[in-house]
Chains A and B, each alone.
Chain A
Amino acid sequence: MQSRLGMARCGIQGLVVLVLLAAGARCGWGQDVASIRRRIAQLEQMKMELNAAADSHAALEGARRLAVLDSLSVGPLRLLAPHQSIDFARRVGEAAWTALRGRLEDSVAMVLHQRRFVLIPEDPADSTQTKAQGYATLGTVLVVPGNRPASLTALEIIVPVYGDLWRTLDPSMREWLSGPVTPTLDTVAVSSSNYLELVTSGSPVARGCYQGRMEDCEEALGLVRPADPAMAWYSVEGRRELVGRLGQVLRTGVTREVFTRCVVQHVDADCVALLHQDEALVPPPLSGSLRASYLLTALKLGETGSLARLLGSSEEASVARRLELTAGTSLSTLTARWHSAVLAMRLNPIQLTASTAGASVVWMAGLLLLATRSSRWR
């Protein structure tokens, strides 16, 4: 029916063109312009009526599809799914909501209310997914293969929500984060790779942060910008690495030779000169991932309403002040909380404990005992 209406729209447009051509031709043997204009106006009116009919048909089709779907809410997360898949949809919703609330607190609801998710089981007979496309007017459609676990489908819900969150943030916050927060099923703000990055960073302020100097943490995260970031944030080796990383931007024109002297001949003065060209290029030594973990810690600490406070503070010039408002506490308290969360994610270098080694020996003894009790008589 819809395709017929679409064809009708194209037909009308073609008809209008034909009428115009005919009008031009008829003008040649003297038909009056006023009657042609009236005819065109009639056709325009007809076209609008047909469009309205097509729109109401789409709405009716949406309502019809909605009628065959069950709906459920998990927290502020709204899901639609066929009746036979509703239990699966509930598990998906619970996994997604647990992960979202765990990292972003209840205030993520203000992002979630914009979306509704439609979970449709994959139809092997429908290779073009036309059935799924039909549900697009109802919300974000997720076509779920039969054997996909609920946790993986939950991640498909989390990804667009994080995308919405990223789009909601103002430019200054996005610039500080330097990239979207990675969507995960984790419920913790800080991961073990965050610990690894902090402990392996060669930056003097990052080292100070690791050793427990909170003012160094704030500087390493870019919350406080020193007068000369290249010198304050990076060691000699770090500056050379940074210039190497920024090669595409710095290795042009007259700076080419200076670039070579810095990266190949290790002349620090040239590295400093290159980085002084444009200090906006010098990023804080701790990556966007660690900055995102700081933001997530602030959101968790701020509990209900923290995201609203962050979004509502876009007038504030300082990112540090905004994070204070988000967390509802002082920057030093927030930094201390983040620092202890990062250190808590310490990794064991070689996980060979006495108990593991002892258990292996006991298992070996047991297996050897079994072997000695084998029979030579086959």
Chain B
Amino acid sequence: MFRAILFTQWKWGRLLLLMATLAGFAIPLLSVQGLNTTYGNFYVVMSLQAFGIAYPLLAASAGLLLSLSAWTSDHRGRHVYALSLPVARWRYVLLRYQAGLLLLLLPILGIWLGAILATRFTHIPAGLHPYAAALALRFALSAALAYTAFFAISSGTPKTAGIVLGIAATLVAIQVLASAAGSDFNLLRPVFDRLFVWPGPFEIFTGRWMLLDV
């Protein structure tokens, strides 16, 4: 049964996966372009730092798109297929999750290979060191976390997803109204801090994502 679910999820998400894998492969290679013409290691680090934002964005996008593609068909078919299967709901969810997680290995491999090639075929200035494996590991954990979070939201009823989205939209609306009224009140900042600053769940997305560093 796992093979069948894996195959169907591959069929639904292969285009997205291909694009994410190519992007993952390209980002490290693009980040080291022109390093040999950059004056001084300081500017090398600054240039790589500018590319750092691309890794967490790709991890979040890959996780989101893969989780959505895993559940779209079930939502569209009103879960008749899932109901017709002789397996418990929790087991069915685990199978879907495992299949998605396995497919997520492709963009992770893309990043890892791209990072290895980028560091292997580039002259690394003295004083800087490559962090290809650490970068790929961090990307893997971030993508898996994003995938799990969006998978959990998508696996619920549309009502659950609506509540989550509704809370987010309400927070943004309150912030917009408060700003329009000239208030210093900042609601989004503490929410962002709770989510992205230790011990928030998405802390792994923040900080420096460097392929080469001191």
With contact pairs A202-B125, A363-B145 given, residues A357 and B93 touching in the complex (Cβ less than 8 Å): no
Whether A200 contacts B208 by the Cβ 8 Å rule is: no
Query: Which of A196, A348, A376 is within 8 Å of B83, CB to CB?
Result: A376
Whether A350 contacts B131 by the Cβ 8 Å rule is: yes
With contact pairs A359-B199, A367-B152, A372-B93 given, residues A352 and B204 touching in the complex (Cβ less than 8 Å): yes
Whether A349 contacts B201 by the Cβ 8 Å rule is: no
A356: CB under 8 A from chain B? yes
A199: CB under 8 A from chain B? yes
Interface segment, one of A5-13, A101-109, A144-152? A144-152
- CA of A236 to CA of B135, assembled, Å: 32
With contact pairs A200-B41, A200-B45, A349-B213 given, residues A368 and B138 touching in the complex (Cβ less than 8 Å): no
Query: Which of B41, B151, B201 is within 8 Å of A201, CB to CB?
Result: B41
Q: How many Å from the CB of B100 to the closest CB on chain A?
A: 11
CB-CB under 8 A from A149, the residues of chain B are 184
CB-CB under 8 A from A113, the residues of chain B are none
CB-CB under 8 A from A372, the residues of chain B are 89-90, 93-94
Closest to A122 in B: B182
B121: CB under 8 A from chain A? no
- CA of A62 to CA of B93, assembled, Å: 74
Query: Which of B44, B129, B152 is within 8 Å of A368, CB to CB?
Result: B152
- CA of A351 to CA of B204, assembled, Å: 8
Whether B214 contacts A349 by the Cβ 8 Å rule is: yes
B40: CB under 8 A from chain A? yes
Closest to B154 in A: A371
B192: CB under 8 A from chain A? no
| Segment 364-378 of A: residues with Cβ below 8 Å from B | 364, 367-368, 370-376, 378
B198: CB under 8 A from chain A? yes
CB-CB under 8 A from B141, the residues of chain A are 352, 357, 360-361
B127: CB under 8 A from chain A? yes
Whether A352 contacts B39 by the Cβ 8 Å rule is: no
- CA of A18 to CA of B199, assembled, Å: 82
Whether B39 contacts A371 by the Cβ 8 Å rule is: no
B78: CB under 8 A from chain A? yes
CB-CB under 8 A from B45, the residues of chain A are 196, 200
Whether B129 contacts A349 by the Cβ 8 Å rule is: yes
- CA of A359 to CA of B205, assembled, Å: 12
Closest to B139 in A: A352
* Chain A residues bordering chain B, tally (CB within 8 A): 38
B97: CB under 8 A from chain A? yes
Q: How many Å from the CB of A205 to the closest CB on chain B?
A: 14
Contact with A along B182-214 (1 / 0, CB 8 A): 111000000000000011010110011110011
With contact pairs A197-B42, A350-B138 given, residues A150 and B184 touching in the complex (Cβ less than 8 Å): yes
B134: CB under 8 A from chain A? yes
Whether B94 contacts A378 by the Cβ 8 Å rule is: no
Query: Which of B41, B182, B214 is within 8 Å of A146, CB to CB?
Result: B182
Whether A376 contacts B44 by the Cβ 8 Å rule is: no
Query: Which of A150, A199, A350, A367 is within 8 Å of B151, CB to CB?
Result: A367
CB-CB under 8 A from A371, the residues of chain B are 93, 97, 148, 151-152, 155-156
CB-CB under 8 A from B207, the residues of chain A are 348, 351
Query: Which of A196, A241, A355, A363 is within 8 Å of B201, CB to CB?
Result: A363
Whether B203 contacts A356 by the Cβ 8 Å rule is: yes
A245: CB under 8 A from chain B? yes
With contact pairs A200-B40, A200-B41 given, residues A368 and B97 touching in the complex (Cβ less than 8 Å): yes
Q: How many Å from the CB of A109 to the closest CB on chain B?
A: 28
A283: CB under 8 A from chain B? no
Q: How many Å from the CB of A171 to the closest CB on chain B?
A: 28
A347: CB under 8 A from chain B? yes
Whether B89 contacts A199 by the Cβ 8 Å rule is: no
Whether A202 contacts B126 by the Cβ 8 Å rule is: yes
Whether A364 contacts B144 by the Cβ 8 Å rule is: yes
Can you offer 30 A-B residue contacts whose CB atoms are under 8 A? A147-B179, A150-B184, A196-B45, A197-B42, A200-B45, A200-B127, A202-B40, A202-B127, A241-B40, A245-B39, A349-B210, A350-B134, A351-B207, A351-B208, A352-B137, A356-B204, A359-B198, A359-B199, A359-B201, A359-B203, A359-B204, A360-B141, A363-B148, A363-B201, A364-B145, A368-B97, A371-B97, A371-B156, A376-B79, A378-B78
Binding site for B on A (CB under 8 A): 146-147, 149-150, 196-197, 199-202, 207, 241, 244-245, 347-352, 355-357, 359-361, 363-364, 367-368, 370-376, 378
Inter-chain pairs besides A202-B127, A364-B148, A378-B157, 11 sampled, C-beta below 8 Å: A199-B127, A200-B42, A201-B40, A201-B41, A244-B39, A349-B214, A360-B142, A360-B145, A367-B151, A368-B94, A375-B157
The 5 A-B pairs at the shortest CB distance, nearest first, are namely A200-B41, A146-B182, A351-B207, A349-B213, A372-B90
